[in-house]
A and B are shown apart, each in its own frame.
Chain A
């Protein structure tokens, strides 16, 4: 049951590397939230039911509903719809994303060991690399924000692999979501639009030597 969900999760990561519409970004982050909710439900079914309910609700509420809703609100407010100044072509991004996938798979195969769940580790690593690629290749701050959320989701996915023994770790991962997502999306992004009237990273290069 978990494998199809994880494959779907990997597909969303690949799609994120080629899409150029911000609405698609927000929708994919929302879809990842729902997938993580389902994965948490299946993966953690053995833990204390009260704890499972709490984790599942947190995941659904923040990753599946609140974060995508905030992203859509930002899109509406800033009226930015498209990555018109992508630093790379779609095919280049796709190629880089596939290279990242191959690297993650190879590394996971190389460190194969019974200590950690390799599928979760490999996908988390791929999410980390995908997020970094998004941050480095795209110029708009919105893309950077999405890159950060992709990394965060990857970390959460990996925490569910270990969370069977230590559910507290998943709660900490969600804490990261709540604090950072709300702060970054809710406050700073709005302020940046007000103060800088800019939505690409080129405008954020004044503080330097």
Chain B
């Protein structure tokens, strides 16, 4: 793991010094070659299931999400090259290096086997993501970057207080997840509750869950669209995985039913915020970000319900990664055409870029969880488990909110494709190759909706095992 981290950081460092734009392609190839080799070493080279240096472990959760990260990050990197082609080399290489560093930091958070190590890598993602958010050097991007750094830092400090409290409550000499899990059974319940609340609040800025979800939305709004694809999926998954590990760690404690209730409340609140703001926003990137809040809310509800809901929550997050990254990459092409994302101004996209418009419409159907979307399966499982435990009020509330989401998606996406355009078109034409490329991620997600390979099912089974 250390070799992987050092190699990745070195390549990112080298990217800062490239002198020609073409070289960025080669450093990108080298970086993603290393990622692919590392993924191969995990699954085919015998690393899977083993620990590294005592700080990291190549478990099912880390490995599955790492593969997804590699795919999304590679798409984001190579789309960025086309997206930022006209910008100054100095800016692009800094951006590319930060994208690589962000990928590396997220990978570190995925494989961390220690509460403090997870926390360190999540903190490192704040630094990298803030640089990416500030890419355009405008007042808006500066404001978003400032808010991102400030709120994430406060959140991360709160999460650290929670980790300290957890350490104190369990009296463990190590913060390894498995060691703490063994000591959690006899720990003071009140300390565990406070620790969980602080960790959940702190990490909510990464997971884009209530209460600190706003910074993620601002960050996605200000960052270049391909980077938003990574922030809204890979980075969100890092926070989700950190939360899932704490959730599993507390499974043996007496406070576990309380923890699940808190997750239910947070999930419902996130779903409410996501659904309501989908109606309110006038910017397509913020629109997609609120959709992330809504989907992570559904995942939190899955964790809160428990049982098969946990499996469904993990599957939901996996599929959401492919769908949402595809939509953000499609949005990058939309910006090439219109030079903006204003919902009430731009339209007629179906006649400008048919492939891109179809990608957006199919993505809309997938996010609305209509069959054959994989989200249909996950949401059906969560609703089924909710009915099974007799929480009818929750089923009613979720269905109502999902209706609002469906209405918002239909009205907004159909408007983009069919309403008469009121803005001047940007000089650059739509890059159809990018639209096709983004569509491939969506097709992969739809395939998962129709057929879940045994390999994937086995990995998720191992992730949800206590």
Which residues of A line the B interface, CB within 8 A? Answer: 111, 113, 115-116, 124, 128, 131, 135, 141, 144, 148, 151-152, 154-155, 158-159, 161-162, 165-166, 168-169, 172-173, 175-176, 179-180, 183-184, 188, 191-192, 195-196, 204, 206-207, 209
Contacts and interface: CB of A to CB of B under 8 A. Distances in A.
Interface in B107-124: 116, 119-120, 123-124
Given A141-B146, A169-B175, A204-B146, 17 more contacts: A111-B188, A115-B169, A115-B187, A116-B168, A124-B161, A135-B154, A166-B167, A172-B119, A172-B160, A183-B127, A183-B149, A188-B149, A191-B134, A195-B142, A206-B140, A209-B283, A209-B286
Contacts of A196: 139, 142-143
Contacts of A115: 168-169, 171, 187-188, 191
A195 B141 CA distance: 11
A162 B149 contact: no
Interface residues of B, number: 48
Contacts, number: 112
B147 interface: yes
Given A111-B191, A128-B161, A179 B168 contact: no
Given A152-B157, A179-B123, A184-B149, A207 B143 contact: yes
B164 A155 contact: yes
Contacts of A191: 134, 142
A148 B153 contact: yes
Most buried by B among A155, A183, A207: A207
B139 A155 contact: no
Most buried by A among B139, B156, B171: B139
A180 B148 CA distance: 12
Interface of B: 116, 119-120, 123-124, 127, 130, 134, 137, 139-140, 142-147, 149-150, 153-154, 156-158, 160-161, 164-165, 167-169, 171, 173, 175, 187-188, 190-191, 194, 218, 221-222, 277, 280-283, 286
A67 to B, nearest CB: 13
A209 B187 CA distance: 44
Contacts of A172: 116, 119-120, 160
Contacts of A152: 157
Contact of A176 (B150, B156, B171, B222): B156
A192 B123 contact: no
A134 B128 CA distance: 27
The 8 closest A-B pairs by CB, nearest first: A116-B168, A180-B153, A209-B281, A204-B143, A207-B143, A207-B218, A195-B142, A111-B190
A155 to B, nearest CB: 5
Contact of A162 (B120, B137, B145, B168): B168
Contact of A188 (B119, B145, B158, B281): B145
A115 to B, nearest CB: 5
Nearest to B142: A195
Nearest to A128: B161
B146 A116 contact: no
A179 B149 contact: no
Contacts of A183: 127, 130, 149
B149 A151 contact: no
Given A128-B158, A155-B157, A184 B191 contact: no
Contacts of A169: 116, 164, 167, 175
B162 to A, nearest CB: 10
Contacts of A209: 277, 280-283, 286
A89 B273 CA distance: 33
A207 B147 contact: yes
B160 A176 contact: yes
B173 A165 contact: yes
Given A113-B188, A183-B127, A195 B139 contact: yes
A141 B151 CA distance: 13
